[in-house]
Amino acid sequence: MARNEPNYLLNAMVGLLKDEPKGRVIDLGCGDGDYSVAVKNMGFDVIATDLDVPRFKRKEIEFRVCDVTKPMPFNAGEFNYAILAEVIEHLRNPFDVIREISRILAPGGKLIISTPNILNLKSRLRFVFEGTWEYFREPPLENAHNPNMTAFNVHLIPWRYPELEYLLHDCGFDVEKNVTSQYDGTGMAFLKPLIAYQMKSKEARSKKKNGLDYSRINKVMLSDDILFGRHLVIKAVKRA
């Protein structure tokens, strides 16, 4: 990110908390701590966690070393909110991690999660020509052996919205809201009517055969946040 350029992802994620009651927040995989500081400045009580200890420089934020891929050293229901920014695509055991987050959240607690949006039109076009999604261009095996890359920073799993929604649901969460960080590739908007026609045709064929009802998911998949958004940014609520 260029100097002085707004952090659009940070703004989108913490923006999902602005109308929420104040409470305890855990920032998982916090990196340098910018998200934790922004949330603390909104009046929340924040604990930041990560494995990359030297990267964290924010002395005003309580910091705990924590490996999200293992049972976390926190009590059940200890937090009201959790932030998981650009972490899920790195995880080898995402279902275990989301279930553990559910454990440490109170009933009705909320998870703010983000990941690169591989379904935006620029990413889809890249896949046609390269066979790789945006943000997932490097082969994981070679990247894992890159001396400039730590193993836990390798992008492993490209998440589409439908699979991420299922992951959250299976682990006890319901999606409350999905947004994006910023729009990119809007010059390809001329493709949207063609995509809509294809998806509506699929919806009609399925309905005729008494198959799946695609109307709900199609509405999400045809949104500008999916077609042009740089990131998936989701607020999910833990079921009671």
Is the CA virtual torsion 158, 161, 163, 164 positive or negative?
positive
DSSP state of 29: T
Asked whether 114 and 179 are in contact (CB, 8 A), the reply is no
Half-sphere exposure (CA, 13 Å, Cβ side) for 42?
A: 22
Nearest CA-CA partner of 66 in 101, 37, 39: 101
> Tens-digit pLDDT profile for the chain (240 aa)?
555 678 999 999 999 999 999 999 999 999 999 999 999 999 999 999 999 898 998 999 999 999 999 999 999 999 999 999 999 999 999 999 999 999 999 999 999 999 999 999 999 999 999 999 999 999 989 988 888 766 678 899 999 999 999 999 999 999 999 999 999 999 999 999 999 999 999 999 999 999 999 999 999 999 999 999 999 999 999 998
* Nearest 10 degrees: Cα torsion 203, 174, 120, 112: 170
Instruction: Return all residues near 120 (Cβ < 8 A) that are at least 6 apart.
Output: 134, 184, 185, 226, 227, 228, 229, 230
Distance, in Å, from the CA atom of 2 to the CA atom of 202, rounded to the nearest integer, reads 42
Q: What is the reported pLDDT for 147?
A: 83
Helix 34-41 to helix 8-15 angle, to the nearest 10 degrees?
A: 40
Domains of the chain, earliest start first: 8-185+229-238 (3.40.50.150)
Task: Please count the other Cβ atoms lying within 10 Å of the Cβ belonging to residue 55.
Answer: 11
What is the model's pLDDT at position 180?
A: 98
Q: How far is residue 146 from each of residues 131, 138, 141, 152, 156, measured CA to CA in Å?
A: 21, 11, 9, 12, 15
Distance from CA of residue 11 to its chain's centroid?
Answer: 14
- Residue holding tokens 């926190």? 74
Q: What is the pLDDT of residue 145?
A: 87
Map residue 103 onto helix, strand or coil. Answer: helix
